[in-house]
Amino acid sequence: MTYKTREWRNSMRVKLDFNNMTDTFLGDKGFSAKKLASYSSRANQAFRYVKENRGKDELYMGWTELPYNQDAIVADILQTAKAIRNKFQYFVVLGIGGSALGPIMAFNALCHLHYNDLPRSKRKGPKFYVEDNVDPVRMRDLLDVIDPAKTCFNVISKSGATSETMTQYLIILDLLKKAGVDVKENVIFTTDANKGNLKKISDEVGGIKSYILPDGVGGRFSQLCPVGLLPAAVLGIDIKGLLAGAGYMDYLCRQPSMRKNPALMCAVLQIAAMEEGKNVGVMMPYSDNLKYIADWYCQLWAESLGKNVTLDGKPCNVGQTPVKSLGVTDQHSQVQLYTEGPFDKVVTFLSLEKYGCEMPIPHGCENIPDVSFLGGHTMEELIQAENAATAYALTKAGRMNYTILLPELNAFTLGQLLFLFELQTAYAGAMLNINTFNQPGVEEGKKATFALLGKAGYSEKKKELDSLPAKDPACII
C-alpha cells in the first residue's frame, strides 16, 4: 500500500471499543469473557470461510478484491470525472438499492452538507442528485431544478431490468431526444459486463460510455467499484483514499483471532446479541456527515442476513432489524425507548475523535446559568459529551452498545468503515450458515409489480393477484 505514510495510516486507524457489551460494564446483562470465547469456534469457521472464498465471483465475493484490482479503472474514472466536471452543471445518478445508497452515503460523508447550495467556485463538481425512487413528484421536482441538456446522467443497474431505474432512464431518454441531445453525450452506464438490458442498449446505440459492475459484486457490496467510485470522483472525493482505507481495514482483519480482528468481533457481538433476543440493531452515528452510512448499512445488514433457509437447505428465519438513528438528534426522539424499552437492541455508535471544525460557543446570557455554562466550550466538545453521556446512560440501564471510533472523517477512514461493515456482514452470514449475498425475498414484490403493469410473461401472476378475496369493507375504517 503506498497511500501516504505508514505513520499517517496508523494514526487514522478506525477502532472498535466494545467495553459496553461486557459484564464488567453491564453486569449480568453483558457478555462474560467465557461467553465470548464460546463463539470462537464459529468465528474461526466464519473467518476461514471468508478467507478461502474471497474473490470468488461465483459466490459473489468479488468485492473483497476491489481495493486491489482496479488501477486501470480508477485511472479511467478520474479522467472521465474531470471531463464531466468541466462539461456539466449537474450530475444525476439513476439507480436504486445498492446502486444508489453508496453514492448517497459517500456524497453526504465527504462533501459539504449544503454542497448543492454552494456557488460553483466553492464546489469541486457539478450539482449532484441521486434519484432512487419513482415518486412522480420527485421526478417532476428534479426536472424543475436541472437542465437535462447540461446534465450527465449516470444510469446504474447491474441487471438493467429494475423497473424503477429503467423508468427513470426512459423519461430522461425522451427528454434528451426532445432537446436534440445525443444520448451518448449525456449518459453513462454502470452495468454488468455481458448481460442485462443496459448492455443491450449500449450495444444498440453504440458508444455509450459504460463502466462495469463486476460479476462477483452484488449491489450492496458495490460502493467501492465504479458504482460508487465514478459519482465520488465527479464530486472530487479522493477515491484512491477510499480504496486504500478499505485495503487497510482488510489488512487489520487478516487476523484469525476475533480479539484482534475488529470485523470478526463485531460479527460475534451482533450474533451473540441476536441469539439472546436482541433483534434490533441500531446504527447511531454522532455526525451529520455519517447520517447516510446508517442507510447504507441498513441495506447491507438487512438484505444480507434476513434469510429463511440455511446453506444446507434447512428452514430458518434469521436476521436482525437494522434501525437508523442520528446522534444527537434522536436522543430527543428514540433514546427513551432504547434506555427503558424492551431489552431487544444493540446500539452501534459511530463516533468521531475530531470533527471537521470545532465551532466555539461564545460566552453570553451570563445571568442564566442553564445557558451560560455552555459558553467557552465548543460544539465539538458538546456533541462528544452527549455521545459519551448517551453511551453511559444506556450502559447504566443495562443496554448493550459499542462504539466504532474514527480519528476523523476522510476518504481513508470512510473506506475503512465500509470494508469493516462488509466483512462484518460476510462473517455474520457465515456464522449463520446462510447465503449472505442473494436477496430472493425481494423477488415476489417485483413479479407482482410486473403483473400489475401487464408485463409479458406474468399473466399467471396476474391471475394469482386477481384471485385474492375481495377486501372486506369492515376492515377499511
Site string for ligand PA5, 357-376 (x = CB under 6 A): --------------------
The grid coordinates of residue 465 equal 393477484
* DSSP state for residue 468 in the 8-state scheme: S
Residue 113 has phi, psi (to 5 degrees) of: -70, -20
Based on the residue annotation, tell me whether 396 is a catalytic residue of this protein. no
Helix (H, G, I), strand (E, B) or coil at 16: strand
Q: Pick the stretch among 217-225, 257-265, 286-294, 331-339 that binds ligand PA5 (CB under 6 A).
A: 217-225
Residues 6+ apart with CB under 8 A from 22: 30, 31, 32, 33, 36
247 is a contact residue toward ligand PA5 (CB under 6 A): no
The residues in 40-69 that bind ligand PA5, with binding defined as CB under 6 A, are none
Q: Which of 314, 296, 316, 297 is nearest to 306 (CA)?
A: 316
Pick from 165, 325, 390, 410 the residue near ligand PA5 by CB under 6 A. Answer: 165
Based on the residue annotation, tell me whether 332 is a catalytic residue of this protein. yes
Cβ closer to ligand PA5: 445 or 473?
445
Q: How far apart are CA 54 and CA 42, in angstroms?
A: 18
Residues 6+ apart with CB under 8 A from 459: 451
Cα angle, residue 450 at apex, residues 447 and 456 outer, rounded to 5°: 110
Q: How far apart are CA 132 and CA 95, in angstroms?
A: 5
Pick from 20, 64, 99, 108 the residue near ligand PA5 by CB under 6 A. Answer: 99
Angle of the 226-234 helix axis to the 101-110 helix axis, nearest 10: 30
Q: Pick the stretch among 212-220, 259-267, 288-296, 356-364 that binds ligand PA5 (CB under 6 A).
A: 212-220
The grid coordinates of residue 34 equal 467465557
Q: Using the structure block, give the residue that is written with the C-alpha cell 458508444.
A: 207
Q: Which of 276, 338, 277, 270 is nearest to 305 (CA)?
A: 270
Q: How far apart are CA 108 and CA 359, in angstroms?
A: 20
Cβ closer to ligand PA5: 228 or 285?
228
307-309 and 280-285 strand pairing: unpaired
Residue 210 has phi, psi (to 5 degrees) of: -130, 135
Min dist. Cβ of residue 95 to ligand PA5 (A) = 6
| Helix H or strand E encompassing 49 | helix 40-53
The grid coordinates of residue 202 equal 449500449
220 is a contact residue toward ligand PA5 (CB under 6 A): yes
Cβ closer to ligand PA5: 63 or 286?
63
The residues in 458-477 that bind ligand PA5, with binding defined as CB under 6 A, are none
218 is a contact residue toward ligand PA5 (CB under 6 A): yes
Min dist. Cβ of residue 447 to ligand PA5 (A) = 14
Cβ closer to ligand PA5: 159 or 255?
159
Q: How far apart are CA 323 and CA 410, in angstroms?
A: 24
Q: How many binding residues for ligand PA5 (CB under 6 A)?
A: 14
Question: Of the listed 446, 460, 463, 464, which one is catalytic?
Answer: 446
Question: Of the listed 303, 345, 380, 422, which one is catalytic?
Answer: 303
CA 289 to chain centre: 13
Pick from 30, 98, 226, 322 the residue near ligand PA5 by CB under 6 A. Answer: 98
Cβ closer to ligand PA5: 223 or 410?
223
Pick from 20, 154, 157, 390 the residue near ligand PA5 by CB under 6 A. Answer: 157
Min dist. Cβ of residue 203 to ligand PA5 (A) = 18
The answer to whether the bond into 328 is cis (omega within 30° of 0) is yes
Length of the chain: 477
Q: Pick the stretch among 151-159, 261-269, 310-318, 411-419 that binds ligand PA5 (CB under 6 A).
A: 151-159
Q: How far apart are CA 244 and CA 2, in angstroms?
A: 8
Min dist. Cβ of residue 163 to ligand PA5 (A) = 9
Site string for ligand PA5, 294-333 (x = CB under 6 A): ---------x------------------------------
345, exposed or middle or buried, with CB in 10 Å at 0-12, 13-18, 19+? buried
Residue nearest to ligand PA5 (CB): 219
Pick from 216, 219, 231, 285 the residue near ligand PA5 by CB under 6 A. Answer: 219
Q: Pick the stretch among 1-9, 33-41, 96-104, 132-140 that binds ligand PA5 (CB under 6 A).
A: 96-104
Question: Of the listed 34, 122, 314, 332, which one is catalytic?
Answer: 332
348 is a contact residue toward ligand PA5 (CB under 6 A): no
Based on the residue annotation, tell me whether 377 is a catalytic residue of this protein. no
103 is a contact residue toward ligand PA5 (CB under 6 A): no
Pick from 42, 158, 291, 399 the residue near ligand PA5 by CB under 6 A. Answer: 158
Rule CB under 6 A: which residues touch ligand PA5?
96-99, 157-159, 162, 165, 218-220, 303, 439
- As annotated, the active-site residues are 303, 332, 446
